[in-house]
Amino acid sequence: MSVKHALLALLYQRPMHGYELGKQLNTAINAEWDVKPGQIASTLVRLNDANLVDYEIEETDDAPDRKVYFITDEGKQELQDWYLTPEVREYKLGDAFYIKLVLSLIGSPVSPEQVLMAQRRELYQQLHEITEMRRETDIKTQLPLLLLLESAIMHLEAELRWIEMTEARLPDLKNYSPPKPPSKPRGRPRRTITVNAETPVSSLSEDKHS
């Protein structure tokens, strides 16, 4: 998630100072995304250097003066481009679990069945926790969070179905044997001598014995 664009999105709503941006960010997103105050402050500096935001000094009686940031026209264009750029949800081919499963097929201290069982247990635990969170979510005031939780639930359910499919194919998977890498020749490569057609044979013989 881009902290830069999240701050621009909040400043599009109204001008805010750094501390207020941090509080508003946690309230608006309401997800597992922890952004530290120092990260917000450094991002605001970079946004200001890039002319995407500007600020005014707000004088206070009982506290030090503070900067109130607002989005510029350049910032609005940057924000609009970000909104219209599609995102690819993170799913890496060849993640840690896949690697663990494949290695268990070709020889390991545990069986592939045990690897799948451990993964299924963890997925069910996550599914239970997120389902409880969804049950406690207020649809009237936390609808965005509800949609996020439902997305996570669907992803976990798909992972569980994939494990079932994998278990059904274990008899064939256990016959898997990775291809051997091509072998490289040992030792130093032979030295080749290019003979010029104009070089007399006698010269070569002399060079060889010299």
Is residue 32 assigned to a domain?
A: yes
Is residue 8 assigned to a domain?
A: yes
**Whole-angstrom distance, CA of residue 154 vs CA of residue 63:** 48
Per the structure block, which two tokens stand in for 108? Answer: 């390991």
Residue 28's CATH number: 1.10.10.10
Query: Mean pLDDT in runs of 10 for the chain (210 residues)?
Result: 86 91 78 78 94 90 82 94 77 76 83 92 94 93 91 94 94 82 66 54 48
Tell me, rounded to whole angstroms, the distance of Cα 111 from its chain centroid.
Answer: 30
**Whole-angstrom distance, CA of residue 10 vs CA of residue 181:** 53
Domain that holds residue 155: 96-173
Is residue 183 assigned to a domain?
A: no
- Structural domains in the chain (count): 2
Domain end among 54, 83, 112: 83
pLDDT of amino acid 86: 76
- 12 and 79, same domain (yes or no): yes
